[in-house]
Amino acid sequence: MIYNAVNVEEIGRRVQSAKHSPRRRPYLFTIGQLSPHKNLPNLIRAFDLLARESTELDLVIGGQNYSHAGYANELLALATERQRIVFCRQAI
């Protein structure tokens, strides 16, 4: 059995079509459901620390939003480097 199988082609398409696509720059990529128990606020904080050291690094977050409608925006509000964080469209 394969639980939570990933459609690689679909994720690649979404990342390429995302605003400010990081495909030409180094980036961190995480995929999974967007929900509070995944502790994404800590990921955002950690990325902010890394972003201070590397001006070429972006963060791509992919996955379906299982939380309330504004959760992705709440996550972005935590970030000081929010212009370098890309949500694949399904996450918003």
Angle in degrees, CA 54, 48, 11, rounded to 5: 85
pTM: 0.69
C-alpha separations of 77 from 10, 20, 73 in Å = 27, 18, 6
Please name the fold of domain 8-91. Answer: Rossmann fold (3.40.50)
- pLDDT of 20-76, one tens digit each? 554 577 888 888 888 888 899 999 999 999 988 888 888 988 888 777 778 888 888
Q: Which residues contact 88 (CB under 8 A, 6 or more apart)?
A: 11, 14, 15, 18, 60, 61, 62, 63
Q: What single DSSP character describes residue 65?
A: B
Angle in degrees, CA 75, 56, 15, rounded to 5: 55
- pLDDT of 24-39, one tens digit each? 778 888 888 888 888 9
Domain range list for the chain: 8-91
